[in-house]
């Protein structure tokens, strides 16, 4: 180490100072220049691929693009008017809400349950942790295809139900069960991630605290609701936000399992957006739906900041 | 055993009973865990076993976990019906390119936001922050029209560019920034006194210390890109350009009928390698992701 | 602060410029010496593609300005969407196959280049040989904009082994007795299902989503989804209600038709009857079950037949419309049309005969061709199409989903279809 450092610094000196001594910059100036250079790719990238499209989506929402006729025409607020009179919007928003709430609820409850069960040192715990986590690394579409296969009317799940004498529903073709199926597929796909986050949080709960409470005679349930839950509340809030924003982005599962059906019972906002823009060629209306999605995410983000201030007391 | 227990002193008996109760509890606990594991592991096992079934057995009743006459037909057809090797290569190179690019860009930006002071830093950071808040689904419609204007539809460029420079890499920048903030600064100051420039400090001093954060960034970037579905669906139309998730959904006979055994074989080939790597390196996976999740 | 604003402005400007130039730079030089042509198709059958390639090679040999001609197979399931997306992406093919029920979208929008003049002027083309019935769908303002290269009748394939196993008369016997109608097919189907557990009749590719394939049934009731001018929904008509009552009963009461989510492949011996395109005869295994081929059974409104049609159009947003039109004139000339007849029943009157078609379908007997195929093509009507086909198709599908439960109220669901689809007509 001691012998290599001078060599490095020589080389560095030769590179930075030696070749262009035109004007002596102060260290601070050179450092700032490096700072701009370092962040440039990321800042330019976000500008070009997030901010500019975000501005253009407003422009596109005021236009209509007839793809086959090759016409791009200004239509004013027509697409926005359509949004407020579109009879599909209410069911689409309902489907989005039901999916998000169902997903978040089952995901967090199961994740917490698994984390509590696995938060102990017993033989085989690592094995089970691996199993619960494994769907996270299974390719999303592969996972969805297998579940789609299992959910067929004559597929594996109904086959197993029939063995024990139950006639299963036609999962993906009937309104309520289609939504339930989509939620199930997504819950088991990603619950491992939240489980690991909860596990890390549970392991961060100081042992003295729980021991002291046990000495004071608190039972297991009180211990959990009064001590553990508040202590890991920052993690709960974090996973809540990650999961709910993630739930708004669900696309592949819907596209592969139900294509938004039956009826439009599983047509969530992102799928509807995709359908309008890329299947029906309604790019103007698709832009309006993009803006709606953006506003929802914005509201959630602001709500998260407010919640953080009020609800979570134990954040460091 | 029982007669022995009956003859010895009472406190021992109580302890024995307590011990038995603990054993029963323990067994019940493992039974509960095993039952809960079913929906997590069964689909993967079912995928592998069904991919080896002859087409006639796929929907057989009662369902069998293992076929009596396993066949590789599905696997053979997976390569015949689509340019699967090419699609595999597409997914792999796109994921690797984006992962490498993200690691480079996010560690540079993360380092600068954590360590270097320069005018406008907060504004620039806010710009990047916006990238974190906006899901890529919001910008897919305008991006499609932009790339269409540039003639880049049905090429890999939109995916490579947007994933490497746009929203998906922003989370990585945040993780790297948090990591570098938590890193002790003394080593870097010593290097600075030695006359090292910022780039050298970043590359020679900071980066070697950031291996764990970089590994986490690499893992979640790779998984995210490997799973990408909306973007390829929107941007790519030629089968030889498809990525794996997209290709998996296209196994159909000439008129759109679903070929389950072929689809499951292709799904197995897509999922299994990543799963194997995960099992081998699961410690890094789980801890890395827990770390990034907590800090992001 | 200032730099951030500048960056945003510059980025916006650059992207906007690119978008605008991209949109306006559709046309390019026509007389380039190295023209590459691309035709999107929905077949990925290697024999088909090999034949296309051989036709293309012969053309290139005589036309030095053409550097290459590629046939680009797109998946059938979302063919039109993919094609439209390619056009939207500025990657329009030069030529494209077009499905009959999306024809109005392409024919009326100006997406296709008029080709009639070129075809008429091509030596040896015999434009007048094209049948009027076949070209009707592909004319815009009286001028042909796409060549109808495949006119393929929908027919009923029958598995005689399954019928025998269930103790039912064969389809030919039913027909001989004058009972070749949907009621008899449905009854025989129920019997097959009860006796063998196999499926009865299957409307191939319907799969409870591609509802327009049900035209092969409702045409027998004299029903149609909307009026001829496309302005009024007719899903709620009495004819349509009766047709759907029949379909619903067949699926949910008589077990004559497999229910939603159940797959039954006729060609794997899993169903007694299937309605599909004649070209699927190639799926019949040589040593498989005993099968027969019949015209569609009669409905309450009498006998009827339906043809599927496909056109080839020259895309106006392609780079070389003129060169593409030239190639289409060659691809569809009498000689190549006879070659293609091997798989794609031609639109030329002179080639609509048992001789040409027998060469096309070696598994079919001359009798079957004379009896089923030729009359089917000559009398067949095309499934109704409409502009905005993707949106209409999805809207009807979503409303019809309510039909596919055992306790569905058929008239109410059909009224719901009309309520949903009316604003789009």
- Residue numbers of B between 252 and 281 with CB closer than 8 Å to A: 260, 263-264, 267-268, 270-271, 274-275, 277-279
Q: Same structural domain for residues C58 and C91?
A: yes
Residue A138 lies in a domain: yes
What is d(CA C377, CA C308) in angstroms, rounded to the nearest whole number? 9
pLDDT at B13: 60
C touches which chains (3+ CB pairs under 8 A)?
A: A, B
**A22 located within any domain:** no
List for chain C the helix, strand, coil content (%; round to 5): 50, 20, 30
Whether residue A11 is predicted with pLDDT greater than 80 in this model: the reply is no
- Inform me whether the C-beta atom of residue C18 falls under 8 Å from chain A C-beta atoms: no
State the pLDDT at residue A24.
64
Do B142 and A15 count as a contact with CB atoms less than 8 A apart?
no
Rounded to 5 degrees, φ, ψ at B64 are: -115, 145
Section A287-292 average pLDDT:
96
Range of the domain at C232: 154-303+384-424
Q: With beta carbons less than 8 A apart as the criterion, state whether B123 and C4 touch.
A: yes
C251 and C341 together in one domain: no
As a whole number, the mean pLDDT across chain A is 85
> For chain C, which ranges sit under pLDDT 50?
1-13, 16-32
Contact C292, C312 (CB under 8 A): no
Please indicate whether residue C69 or residue A68 has the higher confidence score (pLDDT): C69
Beta-strand ranges (E) seen in chain A are 63-66, 71-74
Query: What are the b/e assignments for A233-269, b being 16+ CB within 10 Å?
Result: bbbbbbbbbbbbbbbbbbbbbbbbbbbbbbbbbbbbb
Q: Which of C72, C86, C205 sits opposite B255 (nearest CB)?
A: C205
Cβ–Cβ gap A70/C15 under 8 Å: no
Question: Token pair 């008899």 is at which residue?
Answer: C184
Question: Which residues neighbour A116 within 8 Å (Cβ) at sequence distance 6 or greater?
Answer: A198, A202, A224
Q: Is residue A188 part of a domain?
A: yes
Query: Closest by alpha carbon to C110, among C316, C321, C417?
Result: C316
Read off the pLDDT of residues C64-85 as tens digits, 9 standing for 90 and up: 899 999 999 887 777 888 898 8
Task: Give the model's pLDDT for residue B8.
Answer: 47
Does residue C7 form part of some domain? no
Query: Cα(C395)–Cα(C400) distance, rounded to whole angstroms?
Result: 9
Please give the pLDDT value at position B130: 86
CA distance to B101, C34, C320, C324, per residue, from C30 (Å): 41, 10, 6, 11
Q: Report which of residues A91 and C108 the model is more confident about.
A: A91
For residues A253, A255, A257 and A258, what is the CA-based torsion angle, rounded to 10 degrees?
Answer: 130
- DSSP symbols for B60-94: -SS--SS-SS---HHHHHHHHHS-HHHHHHHHHHH
A25 at C interface, C-beta within 8 A:
no
Interface probe, candidates B67, B138, B231, chain A, greatest A C-beta count within 10 A: B138
Q: What is residue A205's predicted lDDT score, i.e. its pLDDT?
A: 83
pLDDT at C10: 47
Q: Over the stretch B37-80, which tens digit does the pLDDT of each residue have?
A: 999 999 999 999 999 988 777 777 777 777 778 889 889 989 98
Of residues A152 and C354, which shows the higher confidence score? A152
pLDDT in tens, C382-399: 888 888 888 898 889 889
Strand, helix or coil at A26?
coil
Q: So what's the pLDDT on residue C141?
A: 86
Cα gap A280→B122, rounded to integer Å: 42
CATH of the domain at C204: 3.40.190.10
**Mean pLDDT for all residues in chain C:** 85
Residue A136 placed within a domain: yes
| Same structural domain, C129 and C212 | no
Which residue is closest to C82 within chain B, CA to CA?
Answer: B237
Q: Give dist(CA A56, CA A50) in Å, integer.
A: 10
The count of structural domains within chain C is 2
Residue C195 is assigned to a structural domain of this protein: yes
Query: Bigger pLDDT: B24 or A21?
Result: B24
First and final CA of chain B: distance in angstroms?
57
Please report the pLDDT score of residue C8 as a whole number: 45
User: Residue C296 belongs to what H/E stretch?
Assistant: none
Phi, psi of B15 (to 5 degrees): -65, -40
Query: Considering only CB atoms, which chain B residues are within 8 Å of C22?
Result: 148-151
Burial class (CB in 10 A: 0-12, 13-18, 19+), A1: exposed
Nearest CA in chain A to C88: A67
Taking domain B82-250, whether its CATH number is 3.40.50.1370 is answered by: no
Cα–Cα separations (whole angstroms), residue A93 to A86, A293, B188, C396: 12, 11, 52, 20
Across the A:C interface, residue pairs with CB atoms under 8 Å apart total 92
Total count of domains within chain A = 1
> B92-113 burial string, b = 16+ CB within 10 Å, else e?
eebbebbbebbbebbbbbbbbb
Chains B, C: CB pairs < 8 Å? 78
Residue A264, SS3? coil
Predicted pLDDT of residue C363: 78
Q: B62 preceded by cis ω (within 30°)?
A: yes
Q: In the prediction, which pLDDT does B161 show?
A: 94
C183 found inside a domain? yes
The answer on pLDDT for A17 being more than 50 is no
What integer pLDDT is reported at residue B141 of this predicted model?
94
Instruction: Give the per-residue pLDDT at B294.
Output: 46
pLDDT for residue A218 is more than 90: no
The answer to whether residue C334 is domain-embedded is yes
Are C77 and C146 found together in one domain?
yes
Same structural domain, C348 and C362: yes
Residue C315 and residue C294 in one domain: no
- Model confidence band, residue B164 (pLDDT cutoffs 50, 70, 90): very high
A-interface mutation test, from C258, C318, C394, most A Cβ less than 10 A away: C394
Least confident segment among A9-18, B141-150, C89-98 = A9-18
Q: What pLDDT is recorded for position B193?
A: 85
pLDDT grade, residue A23 (50/70/90)? low
ipTM, 2 decimals?
Answer: 0.87
Q: Are residues C297 and C312 in the same domain?
A: no
Backbone angles phi, psi at C205, to 5 degrees: 75, 0
Of A39, A49, A138, nearest to B275 by CB-CB distance is: A138
Which residues does A195 contact at the CB level (< 8 Å), separation at least 6? A110, A111, A114, A115, A118, A129, A132, A133
Nearest CA-CA distance, residue C275 and chain B, Å = 14
Report pLDDT for B292: 59
A299 to chain B: nearest residue by CA?
A: B133
pLDDT, tens digit (0-9, with 9 covering 90-100), for B84-131: 999 999 999 999 999 999 999 999 999 999 999 899 999 999 999 888
The DSSP string of C39-54 is EEES---HHHHHHHHH
Task: Identify the pLDDT of residue B273.
Answer: 92
Does the pLDDT of residue A6 top 60, yes or no? no
Q: List, for residues B188-207, the tens digit of each pLDDT value.
A: 888 888 888 889 899 988 99
Are residues C350 and C400 both part of a single domain?
Answer: no
pLDDT at A91: 93
* C102 and C204 together in one domain: no
**Under a CB-based contact definition with an 8 Å cutoff, are residues A130 and B283 in contact?**
no
A287: CATH: 1.10.3720.10
Domain containing A176 equals: 88-310
pLDDT per position as a tens digit, B219-260: 889 989 999 999 999 999 888 899 999 999 888 765 556 788
What average pLDDT does the segment B158-186 reach?
Answer: 89
């Amino acid at each position: 180490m001691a012998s290599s450092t001078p060599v490095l610094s020589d080389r560095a000196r030769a590179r930075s100072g030696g070749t262009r001594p035109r004007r002596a910059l102060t260290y601070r100036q050179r450092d700032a220049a490096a700072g701009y250079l370092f962040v440039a790719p990321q800042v330019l990238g976000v500008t070009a691929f997030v901010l500019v499209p975000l501005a253009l989506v407003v422009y596109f929402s005021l236009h209509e693009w007839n793809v086959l006729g090759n016409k791009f025409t200004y239509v004013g607020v027509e697409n926005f008017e359509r949004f407020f009179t579109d009879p599909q919007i209410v069911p689409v928003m309902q489907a989005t809400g039901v999916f998000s709430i169902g997903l978040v609820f089952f995901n967090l409850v199961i994740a917490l349950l698994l984390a509590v069960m696995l938060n102990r040192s017993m033989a085989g715990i690592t094995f089970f942790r691996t199993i619960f986590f494994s769907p996270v690394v299974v390719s999303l579409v592969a996972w969805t295809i297998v579940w789609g296969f299992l959910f067929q009317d004559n597929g594996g799940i109904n086959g197993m139900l029939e063995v024990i004498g139950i006639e299963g529903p036609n999962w993906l073709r009937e309104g309520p069960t289609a939504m339930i199926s989509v939620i199930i597929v997504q819950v088991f796909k990603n619950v491992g991630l939240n489980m690991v986050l909860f596990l890390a949080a549970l392991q961060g709960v100081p042992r003295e605290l729980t021991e002291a409470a046990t000495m004071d005679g608190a039972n297991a349930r009180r211990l959990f609701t009064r001590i553990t839950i508040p202590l890991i509340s920052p993690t709960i809030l974090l996973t809540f936000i990650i999961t709910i924003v993630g739930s708004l982005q669900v696309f592949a599962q819907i596209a592969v399992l139900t294509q938004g059906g039956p009826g439009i019972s599983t047509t969530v906002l992102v799928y509807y957006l995709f359908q309008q823009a890329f299947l029906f060629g309604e790019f103007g209306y698709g832009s309006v739906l993009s803006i709606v999605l953006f506003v929802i995410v914005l509201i959630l983000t602001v709500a998260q900041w407010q919640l953080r201030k009020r609800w979570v007391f134990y954040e460091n | 055993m029982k007669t022995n227990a009956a003859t010895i002193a009472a406190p021992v008996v109580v302890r024995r009973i307590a011990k038995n109760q603990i054993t029963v509890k323990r067994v019940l606990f493992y039974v509960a865990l095993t039952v809960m594991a079913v929906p997590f592991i069964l689909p993967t096992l079912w995928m592998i076993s069904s991919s080896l079934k002859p087409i006639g057995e796929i929907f057989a009743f009662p369902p069998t976990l293992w076929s009596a006459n396993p066949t590789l037909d599905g696997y053979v057809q997976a390569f015949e019906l689509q340019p699967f090797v090419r699609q595999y290569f597409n997914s792999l190179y796109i994921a690797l390119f984006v992962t490498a690019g993200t690691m480079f860009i996010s560690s540079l930006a993360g380092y600068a936001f954590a360590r270097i002071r320069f005018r406008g830093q907060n504004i620039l950071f806010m710009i990047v922050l916006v990238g974190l808040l906006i899901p890529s689904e919001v910008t897919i419609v305008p991006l499609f029209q932009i790339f269409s204007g540039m003639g880049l539809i049905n090429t890999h460029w939109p995916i490579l560019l947007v994933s490497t420079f746009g929203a998906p890499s922003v989370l990585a920048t945040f993780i790297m920034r948090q990591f570098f903030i938590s890193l002790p600064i003394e080593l870097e100051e010593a290097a600075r006194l030695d006359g090292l420039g910022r780039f050298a400090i970043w590359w020679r001093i900071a980066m070697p210390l950031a291996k764990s954060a970089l590994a986490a960034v690499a893992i979640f970037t790779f998984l995210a890109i490997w799973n990408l579905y909306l973007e390829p669906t929107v941007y790519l139309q030629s089968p030889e350009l498809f990525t794996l998730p997209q290709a998996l959904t296209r196994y159909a006979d000439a008129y759109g009928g679903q070929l389950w055994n072929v689809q499951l074989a292709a799904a197995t080939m897509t999922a299994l390698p990543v799963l194997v790597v995960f099992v081998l390196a699961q410690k890094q996976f789980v801890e890395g992701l827990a770390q990034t999740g907590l800090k992001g | 602060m200032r730099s951030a604003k500048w960056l945003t402005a510059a980025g916006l400007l650059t992207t906007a410029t690119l978008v605008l130039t991209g949109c306006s730079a559709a046309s390019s030089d026509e007389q380039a010496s190295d023209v590459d042509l691309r035709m999107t198709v929905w077949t990925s059958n290697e024999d088909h593609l090999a034949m296309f390639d051989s036709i293309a090679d012969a053309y290139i040999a005589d036309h030095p300005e053409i550097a290459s001609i590629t046939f680009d197979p797109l998946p059938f399931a979302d063919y039109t969407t993919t094609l439209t997306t390619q056009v939207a992406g500025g990657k329009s093919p030069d030529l494209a196959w077009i499905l009959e029920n999306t024809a109005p979208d392409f024919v009326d929008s100006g997406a296709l280049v008029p080709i009639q003049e070129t075809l008429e002027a091509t030596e040896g083309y015999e434009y007048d040989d094209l049948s009027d019935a076949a070209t009707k769908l592909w004319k815009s303002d009286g001028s042909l904009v796409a060549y109808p290269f495949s006119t393929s009748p929908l027919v009923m394939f029958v598995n005689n082994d399954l019928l025998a196993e269930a103790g039912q008369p064969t389809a030919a016997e039913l027909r001989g007795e004058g009972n070749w109608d949907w009621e008899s097919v449905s009854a025989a189907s129920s019997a097959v299902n009860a006796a063998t557990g196999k499926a009865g009749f299957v409307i191939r590719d319907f799969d409870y989503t591609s509802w327009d394939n049900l035209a092969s049934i409702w045409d027998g009731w004299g029903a149609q989804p909307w009026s001829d001018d496309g302005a009024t929904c007719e899903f709620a008509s009495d004819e349509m209600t009766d047709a759907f009552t029949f379909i619903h009963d067949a699926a949910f009461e008589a077990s004559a038709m497999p229910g939603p989510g159940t797959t039954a492949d006729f060609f794997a011996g899993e169903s007694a009857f299937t309605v599909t395109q004649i070209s699927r005869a190639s799926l019949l295994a040589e040593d498989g079950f005993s099968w027969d081929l019949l015209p569609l059974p009669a409905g309450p409104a009498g006998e009827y037949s339906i043809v599927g049609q496909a056109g080839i159009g020259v895309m106006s947003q392609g780079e070389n419309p003129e060169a593409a039109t030239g190639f289409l004139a060659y691809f569809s000339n009498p000689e190549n049309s006879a070659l293609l007849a091997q798989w794609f029943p031609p639109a030329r009157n002179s080639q609509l005969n048992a001789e040409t078609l027998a060469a096309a379908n070696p598994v079919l007997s001359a009798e079957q061709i004379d009896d089923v195929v030729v009359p089917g093509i000559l009398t067949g009507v095309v499934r109704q199409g409409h502009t905005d086909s993707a949106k209409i198709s999805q809207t009807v599908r979503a409303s019809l989903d309510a039909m596919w439960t055992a306790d569905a109220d058929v008239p109410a669901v059909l009224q719901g279809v009309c309520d949903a689809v009316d604003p789009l007509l």
